[in-house]
Every structure is written in structure tokens, then in C-alpha cells.
Structure 1
């Protein structure tokens, strides 16, 4: 019998609820407290959302009994912590995939993905700059790349952290660039749009594409910005091999858009934005990510005051939560 019977979706869990059901363990960390006791922090997910889990008095045997991405059966009780629901887990056991209804955990929207892929193809195909259009076509014709892009997440957490999230983030940013660019004649709108396409492509190799996103070894050692520059270089070399040399000055502009899009050195950018397009790209990226992440905070908050979320230490404030 599938364990999805009488299963409560994460979005419907409430404070003080006794829980005995399946989840996907998208992440786990074994930690030690000041007294030397060990505990496990869990990230439990289903198709409706994510809830943090705390398993006290744990050990390596429990920690090693399941892997990230496994389905697990958890026993515990929910409570509110810093305005968000979490679960105090008293037991966790790995489940075989045959024991769950995969539809309860599948967060990928295939129909939306196809619409976004069609829109991406349209945006890249409509570029007037022949070099950018050919470069875009080189990416679009790479079946392996496109399959990864269709399923890739934009992050492990915070924003667009779900299968297809990177595609959503990329297309939204390109459309924002197409709206903002013409407002400022000093901007090269097509260069800006292509920077939006390129800026996070390295996350396809930085993050694991299987199940819930985690960092790959390459992602940990190199990072998506460097990987993105390598991916750009590979495609430009392909064009050169096909007899379509790419302008070196345009390549420099694209590389700068990728390496500077985090905006600040302390946020991981090897270089600060020094072109108008790079400055614009950073702020559009930040805008799209912030709206997504703040929306997630509002939707996941359980507050006694319906007009406000609880204080969220990660952003240093409460958020207005009135939905009229």
C-alpha cells in the first residue's frame, strides 16, 4: 500500500500537529551541540513545499541510514520557530520508492516548462545581432544542454529552488531586460538580454539535477560563475570550428556580465560591474530573486498576526502579509 494514503501535504501542516508520513529528504546535516550531543537537521519536501526537521539525540548510524534525495518515513510533531513551521522528528526511516506515490513529490511542471522553452527560443531567435543570435542557436541546438536547462534549479534554497526554476528565472529576467533596456538608449538591450540568458547557466553543473538540488563536487570546488565562463567559451569555440568566428570584444562584454552579476565582491563576483549593462543585469537579477524569495517567506510563514509575518532573521525584518 502506498504511504501517500491520508498523507497531509506540507502546505497543509499546522502548528502542534502529530505527523507520521512520507517526505523526501532533500538535505541533511549532522551537527554537534555545545554539550557534545549530536543532532540532525533535515530539509523535508513534497510537491507543495518544504519544512525543516530537527532530530535530536542522533548518531552516525541514523545519519547514514538514508541519503539526500531519498524518500523517508518520519514520525514527529510540528511547531512554529521564527515564524515558520518546523518538525521535531523522533524517528526517520528510509523508504523504497515503490512505497510512495511519486506524484506527491514531483515539483516539475512539464507544461509550463514547454511554454518557457518556446519563449526562450523566441527571445533568442528574435535577436538582431547576428553573432548573439548564432551563439544562442548553438545553445538551443545542444540537446544535452537543453535537457539540463529544462530540469535545472536556480538554487538549493532561497529562490527558484525547484526543478525548472532556472529556466523560469532565466526567461523572466530576459523579458525584464527586454522591457527595461529600451527605456535607456545608452544600454545595448540585446547584450543585456543575452547576459540574462548566460548569467546562471553554470548552475546546471554546480547543482545536482537528480531529485532535490544539492551541490556537486565541481560546484563546491569551482562554482557556477567560473563554470558559466567555461560553458560560454566552449560554445564560442564550436562556432569558430564551424567557420563563424565570434568578435573578441563582444565575448569580453559577455564574460564581464557573467563574472559581475552578483554585484559585489563579498557576494561572490570576481569583478564589480563596470559597464552599464552589467550594472543593470545585477539589479534585475537581484529584483527577480528578491521577489521570489520574499514571496516564499510570506507564503511559508505562520503568524498570529494576519497582517504581518513574524520577524525573519535572515532578512532582518517582518513582511506585510495582508491579502485583500
Structure 2
């Protein structure tokens, strides 16, 4: 069955094709009528769907992560494309080309994993190098890192996104660190490696990405500190103890990387490395998320995207 990729959908287009229902919510409007909000995905992107005049029978007819056949029409709403769905029906996986929905890039993942091994294996600090090797030699951990997402939305929200985000930050550390001799570049780079590892436990990588119970109850920052402690215990020994001060510095890099208490950091950055990591992390996340907004925008307003309420502005989008 021929289908139009989400990235190629346009305003006012009649649709009757397959999607993956990565999320669904049953809501009630002010008049008491029920409707379903859908998050429809394929390999190329995501589009929201609105199904009016719904009921529990329709809502329960498919699950999150199922392939569904949707009939409807696209429209612009608040500067973004959405689909008004008039019919939705569950599909069996045998009825679709799974490759059209798989966002994991195995080749890129292998390249990133190789580069990660190089960066951690070439550290001069023997304690950081040993700690890095403890992570690299953990096959279960590495397999999860290869397919983990960095978020459910906004930035790097796809299988393998966490590994890419992590490597991009580590490469940025190698560029920024030498420019400022007062920074410990290796400590900064290892902090970049650690900072979001808790998302491997916070976000489920099986089926469609969702927050786990542990993720919602504890959060990836605290989980990340716990994961760090577990690995340090694996390599710690009376004859070669892991330095206490170094452990505290690494823990601080994890707990302070969001930069502000209101953004989820238990502590504000109080070391130069933690301050730098916060800004590098924010830079990479913002560029990725803003790029997604530009690439998914379907404005016809020349060099500008539609107004995006989530960031409070239009973005310059000059088309060559």
C-alpha cells in the first residue's frame, strides 16, 4: 500500500493510510462529548491527530504502539500540521512495511559506539578511564544505550537519540575545554557521558517510548547518580579506591546539568565544569529541537515558519 511519509504531508490533504499510534488520550470537552488525541508516527516524523465524537469502544479498539489505518484530512493548527481523523482501525504488523516506521539507524549507532569507545579509552585520568571501561564492557548497558531515546519529544526523541546526544556533547567538550585552561576537559567530557544515562531507566525502550514507573517516581537525574554509584562500586577496591573528590565532582555534574532548580536540577552548578556542561547540553538540545520545528513547518510565509506557541516566536527559515 502506497503511503505518504509524514514529512511530506501538506495542508488540506485527504489521508487514508497507515500510521503508528505512539500515544492516545481520551478527553471530554465542555459539552460532555468525548474525543481522542492521537500521536501518529512513521520513520520520518510525527503528526498529531484529533478524532471527534469518540467513545470508549473506539478508544479501546487499538493500543499504544499499534499500527492503525486512519482516514481524515490535514490542517494547520497553531502553526503546526495536524490531522482531523474521521476513522481509525487497528492493523496487523503483517499489513504494513515495518521499515517505513523504524527510526533506529543501526549503522550510525555502530559508528557512534566506536567513537564512544575511542573517547573513553583515550582518557589520561586513570580513574575515569577505568570507570569508562566498566560502562563499555557492560554489554547489557551498551545495547540499551544504542537504542535509547533522549526524550519523548522536543529533542533526540527517537531510538538511538540518547547516544547521539551524548556523543555530540562529548565532542563539544573536546572543542570548548582546551579554549579554557581553567577547565578540566576530561572531567567535563565524562560528565557529558554521564549526564543523561538515567534516561535508560526513565524511558522505556520497548515498543513505543513511554515513561517508566521508576522514571516518573524518581527521575533520570537521581537514577543517573545511582547508576554512577553502582559502576564505581564495581571497580572500587581497598588497594585502588576510587577518589572520593572525583566521585563528588561527577555526581555534581549529573545533578546540576539542568542548570536551574525550576528546570529539575537538585543543585545549581557550582563548578566551572558543571556550568559549562549545562550550557553545552542546552545548546545541543535547543539546536536539535529548533531544527525539528523548522524542518516540520509547512508555512508558505516566505522565509519564516509559522508562529510556534511553545517557543513564543517564528523562526527564520530561508529556503534556498
What TM-score range do you get, normalising by the shorter chain? over 0.9
**Structure 2: how far apart are the matches of 1:242 and 1:319?**
56
Partner of 2:49: 53
1:129 aligns with 2:131: no
> For 1:62 and 1:179, how far apart are their aligned partners in 2?
53
1:235 aligns with 2:231: yes
Give the length in aligned residue pairs: 320
CA offsets, 1:88-125, max 9 Å, x none? 01111111111111001011111111100000100101
Q: Is 1:18 aligned to residue 17 of structure 2?
A: no
1:24 touches 1:44 (CA, 8 Å); kept in 2? yes
The CA RMSD measured in Å over matched residues stands at: 1.1
Which stretch of the first structure deviates more once superposed, 160-169 or 236-245?
Answer: 236-245
Structure 2: 5+ residue stretches without partners: none
The change in CA–CA distance for 1:67 and 1:241 in structure 2 (over 3 A counts) is: farther
In 2, Cα distance between the equivalents of 1:114 and 1:143?
A: 14
Partner of residue 307, structure 1: 303
Query: In 1, distance between residues paired with 2:135 and 2:32?
Result: 51
1:105 aligns with 2:101: yes
Question: Residue 184 of structure 1: which of 157, 180, 183 is its match?
Answer: 180
Q: CA deviation at 1:221?
A: 1.0
TM-score, normalised by the number of residues in structure 2: 0.98
Q: Which residue of 1 aligns with 2:165?
A: 169
Q: SS where residue 150 of structure 1 aligns? A: helix
Out of 266, 269, 276, the residue aligned to residue 265 of structure 2 is: 269
Question: For residue 139 of structure 2, what is the aligned residue in structure 1?
Answer: 143
Deviation, structure 1 residue 86:
0.5
Residue matched to 2:62:
66
- Gaps in structure 1 of 5+ consecutive residues: none
Q: Write the distance in 2 (CA, Å) between the matches of 1:24 and 1:67.
A: 10
The verdict on how the C-alpha distance between 1:33 and 1:243 changes in structure 2, with shifts beyond 3 A counting, is: farther
1:219-238 C-alpha deviation (Å, 9 max, x unpaired): 11111111101100100010
Q: Which moved more, 1:207-216 or 1:181-190?
A: 207-216
Q: Please give the alpha-carbon distance, in whole angstroms, between the structure 2 residues aligned to 1:66 and 1:267.
A: 35
Deviation at 1:133, TM superposition (A): 0.4
1:285 aligns with 2:285: no
Task: Provide the rounded CA distance (Å) in 2 between the counterparts of 1:113 and 1:239.
Answer: 27
CA distance in 1, matches of 2:51, 2:212: 25
1: distance between equivalents of 2:91 and 2:188?
47
What is the rounded CA distance, in whole Å, between the counterparts of 2:80 and 2:298 in structure 1?
6
Q: How far apart, in 2, do the equivalents of 1:180 and 1:201 lie?
A: 22
Task: Name the CA distance, whole Å, in 2 between partners of 1:206 and 1:243.
Answer: 35
* TM-score, scaled relative to structure 1: 0.97
1:162 touches 1:212 (CA, 8 Å); kept in 2? no
Q: Pick one of 154, 160, 168 that aligns with 2:156.
A: 160
